[in-house]
Amino acid sequence: MNNLKLLNQSEVKKILTMKDVLQAVEDAFGSWGRGEVQMPPKSYLIFDEQNGDLRSMPAYLPGKNAGVKIVTVHPDNTSQGLPTVMALCVLNDPNTGFPVAVMDAGLLTAVRTGAAGGVASKWLAKEGSSEIGLIGSGVQAQYQIEAHLDFMNIDHIKISDPNKQATKDLSDWIKKKDSSIDISVTDIKNACDCDVLITTTPVRNPIVMDSMIVRPHTHINAIGADAEGKQEIEGNLVKRSNVIVDDWTQTSHSGEINVPCHEGWFTKDMVAGEIGTIVAEADSSFKNVLTIFDSTGLAIQDMATANIVLKKAIEKGMGIDWSPLK
């Protein structure tokens, strides 16, 4: 193959289904847990003045195209009509190195992040969980819900976000997906009284306090903190929870536990588990206890998802074929 496939976001959207991505991400976590993948930790460029950053995320899952995602996170972008998160994935054939695809990965990032939260809840949340609390109701929140709708019988979703438009848009979207779900717009404390709490804000000071988590089995997907200095959850709550990381190197650098690690009181031996090992070993021992899944986002999630997009795009004849060596 001498052509590279160029795919934009609307083409990726036509191809991707949450069901496929949930399976691909779960399989990728399992491979990671069995030590089958290559994935150096993501590296960062920090734009202090512009309040943003750029990350490069390479990975290779055996039997698939290797590649790298370049992703930027600029929380002030919404005022300019741009998404907070924008990304591109480049896929390379591991046999020759030939670049086989360049695709938009903004939507892909949101879908694979939603799927990671879904897989974490599948393995870490109590059986029969039916009540979700959402802190933050932006892009990531929607895809977290989409993933949970796939496998969880959701009765009630409590949403807390000071952005009334974002909250309304998400509520309307959920109603369209499943009108039987009760939706409450509420404060953070009330939203925390739930089975599965999902935090997707870019805050730098904790907003989920220890006293707010009252159920002994609540599972928390901590999604928002994915860069140095970001933190959504109060230290005392982290201390009394079983912290499951996606990857120790990444989470200690830039995940929910990055601030506790930099302060020196959270150490590697305090990690209760890694999602890859839990999936690889089908470990269901955390389902009835308080858990935090610290998600920074793994490049294997992106590469597993991008490979699905490329395969389906070739089957459907979608995208633009371009010859880079011409």
Ligand X SMILES: NC(=O)c1ccc[n+]([C@@H]2O[C@H](COP(=O)([O-])OP(=O)(O)OC[C@H]3O[C@@H](n4cnc5c(N)ncnc54)[C@H](O)[C@@H]3O)[C@@H](O)[C@H]2O)c1
Task: List, by residue number, the catalytic residues.
Answer: 69
- By beta-carbon proximity to ligand X, the closer residue of 95 and 165 is 165
Q: Toward ligand X, which CB reaches closer, 202 or 276? A: 202
CB of 323 to ligand X, least distance (A): 33
Residue nearest to ligand X (CB): 138
Residue with tokens 């969880």: 152
Closest approach, Cβ 60 to ligand X, in A, equals 19
Gyration radius (Cα) of the chain, Å:
19
The CA distance from 52 to 50, in Å, is 6
Give the nearest distance from C-beta 93 to ligand X in angstroms. Answer: 26
Q: Which residue has the tokens 């306090």?
A: 209
For residues 149 and 66, what is the distance between their CA atoms, to the nearest angstrom? Answer: 30
Q: Which residues bind ligand X (CB under 6 A)?
A: 73, 78, 84-85, 109, 113, 135-141, 160-163, 166, 200-203, 207, 223-224, 226, 295-297
Q: Which residue has the tokens 């809840």?
A: 121
Distances (CA, A) of 265 to 25, 80, 199, 226, 260: 31, 39, 23, 19, 6
Question: Which residues are CB-contacts of 19 (< 8 A; sequence separation ≥ 6)?
Answer: 150
| Residue 65: HSE in the Cβ half-sphere, 13 Å Cα cutoff | 24
Q: Which is nearer to ligand X, 11 or 161 (CB)?
A: 161
Cβ proximity to ligand X: between 96 and 165 the closer is 165
Burial 248-262 (b: 16+ CB within 10 A, else e): bebbbbbbbbbbbbe
CB of 228 to ligand X, least distance (A): 12
Q: CB of residue 75 vs ligand X: minimum separation in angstroms?
A: 6
Compare residues 100 and 157 and give the one whose CB is closer to ligand X: 157
CB environment 207-228: b (16+ within 10 A), e (fewer) = bbeeebbeeebbbbbbbbbbbe
Minimum distance, C-beta of residue 275 to ligand X, in the bound complex (Å): 12
CB of 81: closest distance to ligand X in angstroms? Answer: 12
- Is the CB of 262 or the CB of 316 nearer to ligand X? 262
Q: Which is nearer to ligand X, 100 or 212 (CB)?
A: 212
- The phi, psi pair for 154, rounded to 5°, reads -90, 125
